[in-house]
Structure 1
Amino acid sequence: MTASAQTERRPVDRIPPLRRLFPLGLQHVLAMYAGAVAVPLIVGGALIGMGELEPGDIAYLISADLLVAGIATIIQSVGFWRFGVRLPLMQGCTFAAVGPMIVIGGEYGITAIYGSVIASGLFMMLLAPFFSRLVRFFPPIVTGTVILIIGVSLMDVAAGWVGGGTGSDDFGDPLDIGFAAGTLLLIILIERFAPPAIQRVSILLGLVIGTLVAWPFGLTDWSGVADSAWFGLALPFHFGLPTFPISAIVSMCIVGLVIMTETTGDIIAVGEIVDEPVTPRRLADGLRADGLSTVIGGVFNTFPYTAFAQNVGLVSITGVRSRYVATFAGVILVVLGLVPALGAVVEGVPLAVLGGAGVALFGMVAASGIRTLSKVRFNNSNILIVAVALGVSLLPTVSPDIYAQFPTWFTIVFDSGISAGALVAVLLNLLLNSESQQRRFGGSDRDVSAHDAVRGPSAPAQADRED
């Protein structure tokens, strides 16, 4: 393709040269890796305790997860027919499904988990065109609030990484926190003093340099590399043919609604960051891709898939809008899924170093939400929408057991601060920004389009950092 043809393309459709594509894609993988493998580790560990799996099956679950995450990312970013939003989004297993899957595994066995995952994926594909029409309920006051909630909610994950891993015996070790702070400072210095070409991979450089410095201190662990196979292929229905208990299917379909709500927020957020309008049709294509990826996950013995919000922050902080960066990252995930030893190398990155990068990434997501909200006319109603939605979203973060005595269907929705906050923001906007309320306050935020709400640091600055 000629240089002039590349220039005529929209930034989201441009393909960076390979010398830039590899490091840009790799830092997306590093930013999401810990979150990507967390779900198979948690669910797999619970199933081992129930006698449904053997300890050696965890490695298989991780390889299958990385393989399908890569396939799901490629489907979402490249797209085919009516599948894929064609934006720079990374896909991974959702945490919203962890609790229900453990309950299903204990009640009906592991094959029921995969049967309910497949059923929920089909449900999501069928519902996508109807759910996408809800995009009109996401004006800037809602969109900005949801993006802010996504960033703030993820800080709980970043804090766990900064401390060296939630639940570890030496959590909060000053050495871990020091390396997290050092990694964050390094990223900031690169962003301030390095040339634009280096700034684009500031997160990657922070992670690599932080890992190398942490090595002599014993914070890295590559012991699993020697024990890992150099090739492994996930096979369909490895643990047996799926079963389909009705109650398990209903439970996972509720999870599917939560996934679609979270993905809607992520798609709108990244669409605004890369200056691409998200139409109902485009949103439906993205939600449909989530459903297809979830079906593939059930077939290959892994779990439901959704867009990863931490990578939305990476798109914002690097200013690189090409969807093919995510595509290349998907290819890397596929390779990691097929070569478990490489996955073990990536796994050696210290959590504290990853936490330093996570503070910057998740903070950028929250800042993008604030930028969107800066376009909103803040009357008392809109202030109340942001305040209540943000407050509700933080309840399960600051008090994880607050909904422990509620039924499962309730906790599936409200234990996720993102889905709870999004639901509250939409409902309060409908209640407080009705036509009568708009007349009372002389208009609403609806005169500000979601398309104009976020354009990055500035249009010229964003363009300077494009490939």
Structure 2
Amino acid sequence: MPDHTVDPVDEKPPLARLLPLGLQHVLVMYAGALAVPLILGSALKLPKEQVAILINADLFACGIATLIQSIGFRGFGIRMPVMMGVTFAAVSPMLAMAADPSLGLLGIYGAVIGAGLFGILVAPFISRLLPLFPPVVTGTIITVVGISLLGVGINWAAGGAGNPRFGDPLYLAVSLLVLLVILGATKYCRGFFANIAVLLGLIAGFGVAFALGEVNFAGVAQARWVELVHPFQFGWPTFDLLAILTMSLVLIVVMIESTGVFLALGEVTDRTIGQEDMTRGLRADGLGTLIGGVFNTFPYTSFSQNVGLVGITGVRSRWVTATGGVIMLILGLVPKIATIVASIPQFVLGGAGIVMFGMICATGIRVLSRVDFRGNPGNTYVVAVSIGLGMIPQVSERFFGHMPKALSPLLHSGILLASIAAIALNAYFNGMRSGAAAVADATAAGREAETAH
């Protein structure tokens, strides 16, 4: 039985529950964790064995960064149920660096290490922006996070972007099956089985896909059982000032996005995120990025899709994601198991993705429900314009096609566009109140909502 005297975030479930709950978090973010090393490996035309090294290093560093973020160490880690993974915000500038013969992979690693050190240093300054996030801003950002991720889940359900059979009715049927199993388990199961509703859906979908011959186990036989991950396996990184500055700009984008993720997680877990908590969480993003550069991988961020999983299962324990971190670390050291897990088709993940990412949208809407729209019509414009701007990268990839490439990290992040717009419009309509007042209002509103429930 759970100890009700312990905060649900700090509760330590027994190992028999921790393992499947942690695995559930790993499966949810696994495809995203593999995507960036595959993209970079392809752009650099690396041989298959070197791409495998990138993937193993990525999983290994994912595990370390997740443990730091979830468990927390002196000055690092938000101590919340967070899974860490490579950020997609860095893909575009890294591809540009990969195309530059003077930089290449070693130049990318130098930029990642430099940006990681920069992130550790600036985390306290970024966290001071917390008072700029009253409920009208927070709710808008969380909603845009969910809507942005829904595109990923929908693409998964149809077979994954680039799949020549994209939209195959078979894919859609299996995705629907996964969705129905999750909904059925959520309604009719109790206790532990309700907590692993997403995992049950993925198992059911994987079983059907396997029976229909839709699971590709290519590469499993050739993969080694054990492969150690070494620092600087591709050689000593090279440090280019412009590349470091570019990656540092990307990391600022990532940290602002992480701010939205942490606030969303605070709403899901009913825990107020203070400035010190935010500093530790953002500092862990920087440290994770530094570790990524050392271990031959890329910048790390807190994965927002796992926030949706916390909302669905109701399991708030940070020790569950810490267990997920251990699993990721092991997968990085055992390539054969990692290859088997990577064989889960994207259309199996799709049904789960739609539920989880939709849950993040629902969390944002719940926050917005306590905003005064009738007495303060300006709040309506804050939400309307910010969501509209946040949708631009999702709806039209070429909208900013003629803008300078240096602005790409800003203009192609819907979450960042929505964040900047919401903060600016809130200041325009509601004024720049003291930080303490903004935080106090958000906290009081949260307590009122809890009392109402």
Q: Which runs of 4+ in 1 moved over 6 A?
A: 444-447, 458-461
Aligned to 2:42: 45
Matched, 1:133 2:128: yes
CA-CA distance at 1:232 after TM superposition: 1.0
What one-letter code is carried by the residue in structure 1 that aligns with 2:86? C
Aligned to 2:343: 348
Aligned to 1:304: 299
* 8 Å contact from structure 1 (residues 77, 89) kept in 2: yes
Aligned to 1:465: none
Structure 1: distance between partners of 2:166 and 2:29? 21
Q: Which runs of 5+ in 2 are unaligned?
A: none
* 8 Å contact from structure 1 (residues 273, 454) kept in 2: no
Aligned to 1:365: 360
Matched, 1:153 2:148: yes
Report the more deviating stretch, 53-62 or 148-157: 53-62
Given candidates 91, 106, 113, the residue that maps to 2:108 is 113
CA-CA distance at 1:7 after TM superposition: 3.6
CA-CA distance at 1:353 after TM superposition: 1.1
Report the more deviating stretch, 194-203 or 134-143: 194-203
Aligned to 2:228: 233
CA-CA distance at 1:128 after TM superposition: 0.5
What one-letter code is carried by the residue in structure 2 that aligns with 1:327? A
Pick closer, same or farther for the CA change 1:119–1:415 going to 2, 3 Å. same
Q: Report the 3-state secondary structure (helix = DSSP H, G, I; strand = E; otherwise coil) of the residue aligned with 2:296.
A: coil
CA-CA distance at 1:455 after TM superposition: 10
Structure 1: distance between partners of 2:321 and 2:43? 31
Deviations 1:177-197 (A, max 9, x none): 111111101111111111232
Structure 2: distance between partners of 1:448 and 1:190? 37
Pick closer, same or farther for the CA change 1:83–1:316 going to 2, 3 Å. same
CA-CA distance at 1:402 after TM superposition: 1.8
Pick closer, same or farther for the CA change 1:398–1:435 going to 2, 3 Å. closer
Structure 2: distance between partners of 1:265 and 1:383? 20
Matched, 1:386 2:379: no
Given candidates 403, 414, 436, the residue that maps to 1:406 is 403
Given candidates 239, 244, 247, the residue that maps to 2:239 is 244
Structure 2: distance between partners of 1:455 and 1:89? 26
Q: Report the 3-state secondary structure (helix = DSSP H, G, I; strand = E; otherwise coil) of the residue aligned with 2:128.
A: helix
What one-letter code is carried by the residue in structure 2 that aligns with 1:199? A
CA-CA distance at 1:454 after TM superposition: 8.7
TM-score (norm 2): 0.95
Sequence identity of aligned pairs in percent? 47
Report the more deviating stretch, 157-166 or 446-455: 446-455
Given candidates 10, 14, 36, the residue that maps to 1:13 is 10
* RMSD between superposed Cα atoms in Å: 2.0
Report the more deviating stretch, 247-256 or 403-412: 403-412
Pick closer, same or farther for the CA change 1:300–1:132 going to 2, 3 Å. same
CA-CA distance at 1:223 after TM superposition: 2.2
Deviations 1:338-378 (A, max 9, x none): 00111111112111110000000000001000000001101
Pick closer, same or farther for the CA change 1:447–1:323 going to 2, 3 Å. closer
Aligned to 1:259: 254
* 8 Å contact from structure 2 (residues 131, 438) kept in 1: no
Aligned to 2:290: 295
Pick closer, same or farther for the CA change 1:225–1:455 going to 2, 3 Å. farther
Given candidates 409, 427, 430, the residue that maps to 1:433 is 430
Aligned to 1:464: none
Matched, 1:61 2:54: yes
CA-CA distance at 1:222 after TM superposition: 1.6
What one-letter code is carried by the residue in structure 2 that aligns with 1:426? I
Matched, 1:31 2:24: no
Aligned to 1:211: 206
CA-CA distance at 1:273 after TM superposition: 1.2
Structure 1: distance between partners of 2:399 and 2:275? 35
Structure 1: distance between partners of 2:37 and 2:330? 18
What one-letter code is carried by the residue in structure 2 that aligns with 1:35? G
Q: Report the 3-state secondary structure (helix = DSSP H, G, I; strand = E; otherwise coil) of the residue aligned with 2:426.
A: helix
Structure 1: distance between partners of 2:50 and 2:132? 43
Pick closer, same or farther for the CA change 1:447–1:109 going to 2, 3 Å. closer
Report the more deviating stretch, 444-453 or 13-22: 444-453
* 8 Å contact from structure 1 (residues 277, 451) kept in 2: no
What one-letter code is carried by the residue in structure 2 that aligns with 1:61? L
Deviations 1:384-417 (A, max 9, x none): 1111111111111111122222112211112011
Q: How does 1:302-341 map to 2 (within 5 A)?
A: 302-341=297-336
Deviations 1:262-284 (A, max 9, x none): 11111111112112211111100
Structure 1: distance between partners of 2:203 and 2:350? 13
Structure 1: distance between partners of 2:402 and 2:444? 41
CA-CA distance at 1:448 after TM superposition: 3.9
Deviations 1:78-98 (A, max 9, x none): 011000000001000000000
* 8 Å contact from structure 1 (residues 144, 369) kept in 2: yes
* 8 Å contact from structure 1 (residues 377, 445) kept in 2: no
What one-letter code is carried by the residue in structure 2 that aligns with 1:254? L
Structure 2: distance between partners of 1:401 and 1:451? 42
What one-letter code is carried by the residue in structure 1 that aligns with 2:39? I
Q: Report the 3-state secondary structure (helix = DSSP H, G, I; strand = E; otherwise coil) of the residue aligned with 1:92.
A: strand
Structure 1: distance between partners of 2:271 and 2:301? 20
CA-CA distance at 1:435 after TM superposition: 6.3
What one-letter code is carried by the residue in structure 2 that aligns with 1:55? K
Deviations 1:50-82 (A, max 9, x none): xxx323211111110000001000000001100
* 8 Å contact from structure 2 (residues 267, 363) kept in 1: no
* 8 Å contact from structure 2 (residues 159, 347) kept in 1: yes
Q: Report the 3-state secondary structure (helix = DSSP H, G, I; strand = E; otherwise coil) of the residue aligned with 2:282.
A: helix
* 8 Å contact from structure 1 (residues 114, 303) kept in 2: yes
* 8 Å contact from structure 1 (residues 140, 450) kept in 2: no
Matched, 1:185 2:185: no
What one-letter code is carried by the residue in structure 2 that aligns with 1:382? N
Deviations 1:157-190 (A, max 9, x none): 1121111110111111111011111110111111
What one-letter code is carried by the residue in structure 1 that aligns with 2:241? I
What one-letter code is carried by the residue in structure 1 that aligns with 2:60? L
Structure 1: distance between partners of 2:131 and 2:366? 20
* 8 Å contact from structure 1 (residues 372, 454) kept in 2: no
